[in-house]
Amino acid sequence: MDFSYTSRTSQMLDRLRHFMADQVAPLETRWQRTLDHGGNPWDLPPGLEEAKQAARSQGLWNLFLPDRHFGAGLSNLEYAPLAEAMGHSHLAPEVFNCNAPDTGNMEVLVHYGSTSQKETWLEPLLAGSIRSGFCMTEPDVASSDATNMQATVRVEDETVIIDGTKWWTTGIGHPNCKVLIFMGLTDPEAPRHQRHSMVLVPIDTPGVRIVRKLTVFGDYDPPYGHGEVEFDNVRVPADHVIAGPGRGFEIAQGRLGPGRVHHCMRAIGAAERALELMVRRGLDREAFGRPLAKLGGNVDRVAEARMAIDQARLMVLRTAWLLDEKGIEGALSEVSQIKAIVPAMLQKIVDDAIQIHGGAGLCEDFPLARLFGYARSLRLADGPDEVHRAQVARHELKKYRD
């Protein structure tokens, strides 16, 4: 047992942090200024493409992808601390081409994509020249139970016909978003885990309609956005199905482990940023003759934040290690655990940080309001807390049943 990062991770982390300070932080500031001055929030943030080129030229690119041929070849455990560092800014993942859902989509294409799919979609995604969306959750059913899914993917000869309405398709508002991975029901009679398919759908295919962009607590989260997307008799060639019909569930499972590690580590980075803001504000401002940080229960709140972050980080790192060592089957309880632990932890810390900021914490002057929306969404995205806790309990009960 050893709790130190490998020298490779340490070195990359060091370079990444410098890049964050030198290039990403100013980018975020400039972007906020653009928004404050009424710039079109759906345009590309100024300087973003330059920052991406710089990241790529410095080898800080596609770090999430363990595949040595297509990506950086880092293990989950090696990448995790880098994801945490990226979590300090919501623009960082794109700068390093490590943004969701592109990461998951690229992984899918690496493992399951045909040669032609790789050429058409994986390459520009790896190059950061396009972005992608993922269409799974549906507005009309409780999507926490995957068997509720109503959208359909019908295969007719050489054509696939797609129907249904999806929402919470993140990134749909980005000007570079060019392709969607759509999941739907192909064969309701097939064995339970072979009923669904995933299909690549170019965003300009006839019948694809962005019904609206959704707000999160009133915020559209530009330039990414979250969309409700209608698919009305959308037709694509049958070779757009990934890995063939009926393999949707299998592919979805494969996305889960690493994706949750990425999400969670970024959320931990965000929590560190919130804690730093909490402490700095608590030291800067005084009331009743003492700095806020030392008044009443604030001492407890700072301590609890530190303890919660450090515990959560170790859990995620261990989960990354388990994924590396034993694969998803050896980490099923753990990937659910981190998904239940980390977003709730982040929400609590952001809430406390807001409180110490007073009204400033609610508005655009600090990233806290945005972080709150991010944390709150994460408690629902990729399964609500309740489903993850139920999964954890199921594993626990299984130990004593037979």
Taking CB under 8 A as the criterion, which residues in 331-370 touch a copy of itself? 333, 337, 340-341, 351, 354-355, 358-364, 369-370
**Is 264 near a copy of itself (CB under 8 A)?**
no
Q: Does 202 bind a copy of itself (CB under 8 A)?
A: no
Specify the 3-state DSSP secondary structure of 116: helix
Q: Is there binding between residue 389 and a copy of itself (CB under 8 A)?
A: yes
Contact 217, 191 (CB under 8 A): no
Smallest gap from Cβ 49 to a copy of itself, in A, equals 25
Residues between 142 and 181 with contacts to a copy of itself, criterion CB under 8 A: 142-145, 148, 167-168
Q: Which residues contact 329 (CB under 8 A, 6 or more apart)?
A: none
Q: How far apart are CA 67 and CA 72, in angstroms?
A: 7
Question: Which residues in 369-388 contact a copy of itself (CB under 8 A)?
Answer: 369-370, 372-373, 376-377, 379-381, 384-386, 388
Neighbours of 362 (CB within 10 A): 13
Binding residues for a copy of itself restricted to 35-54, rule: CB under 8 A: 36
User: Segment contacting a copy of itself (CB under 8 A): 15-23, 116-124, 134-142, 261-269?
Assistant: 134-142
- 190 counts as binding a copy of itself under rule CB under 8 A: no
Cβ density class 380-401: b for 16+ within 10 Å, e for less: bbbbbbebbeebbeeeeeeeee
Q: How far is the CB of 367 from a copy of itself (least distance, A)?
A: 11
Contact 19, 60 (CB under 8 A): yes
Cβ proximity to a copy of itself, 112 vs 366, nearer residue:
366
Query: Distance (Å, rounded) from C-alpha 231 to C-alpha 358?
Result: 44
Smallest distance from a copy of itself to CB 79, Å: 12
Q: How far is CA 357 from the centre of its chain?
A: 27
* Number of residues forming the site for a copy of itself (CB under 8 A): 100
The CA distance from 386 to 377, in Å, is 14
Q: How many CB atoms lie within 10 A of CB 77?
A: 21
The single-letter DSSP state of residue 219 is B
What is the closest distance, in whole angstroms, from the C-beta atom of residue 149 to a copy of itself in the complex?
Answer: 12
Q: Shortest approach of a copy of itself to residue 98 CB, angstroms?
A: 20
Q: Is 155 or 295 the residue whose CB approaches a copy of itself more closely?
A: 295
d(CA 265, CA 371): 14
Among 155, 216, 243, 332, binds a copy of itself (CB under 8 A): 216
Cβ at position 333, least distance to a copy of itself in Å: 7
Among 12, 27, 48, 77, binds a copy of itself (CB under 8 A): 77
d(Cα 155, Cα 143) in Å, to the nearest integer?
Answer: 23
Q: Nearest distance from residue 145's CB to a copy of itself, in Å?
A: 4
Beta carbon of residue 47, minimum distance to a copy of itself (angstroms, whole number):
22
Give the number of other Cβ atoms within 10 Å of residue 156's Cβ: 9
